[in-house]
Each structure stands twice: as C-alpha cells, then as structure tokens.
Amino acid sequence: MPEAEQFLREGLRENPRSYEILFALGRIYYNNYHDAPRARNVWELALKRWREQESSKKEPDRFALEEIVVNLGRLEEEQGNLSAAILYLEEAKKVSPVPQTIQKQIDELRRKLEPNPQASR
C-alpha cells in the first residue's frame, strides 16, 4: 500500500486543494493503516476543501460530500464519538439519494446514546 499512498501524496503536491485526493488518502490511512486520528485529520481537511470549492456551486459534487461525511461518521462511531457521528450523518442525509437509510443509522446511534434504565438495576 505504500505505492498508493506515495502516488496520492504526489498528486496532492500537484493539486493541494483536491478534496478527492484527500478523501482517497484518508481511506488508505483508515482502512489499510488503521490510523483513525490521521484519517480523521485528512478527511476533515477534505471536507473543508469541499466546502471551499463546491458549496457555492449551482451543482456541487454531492456524491463526494456524502462519501466524506459518511466516512467521518463511521470513524467517529467506531471511535465511540457517537454525537460527532450523528452530526456527520445528519449532513450526509441532506445530500444522500437514500436519506431514509442514513436516518436509520442516526436513529440507531441516538438509541445508543440514551441512558439504559435496565443497566442501573
């Protein structure tokens, strides 16, 4: 996987504002190196770059936005940051072609956040 990372880093040097390259680099950090903090940082930068470049466009790249925020949401859920995961998924729901599926994930995370009255007995 070092070759893929090197290829993406070279691409990023040539295109430092590319949210697509940042997203792909974050996937390598998360899926291949299991480096959640590094993946989070890169994906948050990808989200920032997306917002800078796409948010004011008449036809923004909604698919890329959904990919970035869904992956951030999964990362936060796996790291135990359920409130942050919900925030990212709420953003994904706004651009998703299947918002009801995202809503089910949000509802499940909210249930996990609720205090369990049975646990205190």
pLDDT in tens, 12-30: 999 999 999 999 999 999 9
Secondary structure of the chain in HEC code, one letter for each residue: CHHHHHHHHHHHHHCCCCHHHHHHHHHHHHHHCCCHHHHHHHHHHHHHHHHHHHCCCCCCCHHHHHHHHHHHHHHHHHCCCHHHHHHHHHHHHHHCCCHHHHHHHHHHHHHHHCCCHHHHC
Q: Find where tokens 């390259």 sit.
A: 21
| pLDDT level of residue 118 (50, 70, 90 thresholds) | low
Q: How far is 26 from 113, CA to CA, in rounded Å? A: 27
Identify the domain containing residue 78 by its residue range: 2-114
pLDDT attached to residue 119 = 55
| 120 occurs within a structural domain | no
54-111 pLDDT, tens digit each: 999 999 999 999 999 999 999 999 999 999 999 999 999 999 999 999 999 999 999 9
Number of structural domains (the chain) is: 1
pLDDT attached to residue 116 = 72
Q: pTM, whole model, 2 decimals? A: 0.91
Residue 76: CATH number of its domain: 1.25.40.10
| 21 occurs within a structural domain | yes
Tokens standing for residue 98: 């299947």
| 119 occurs within a structural domain | no
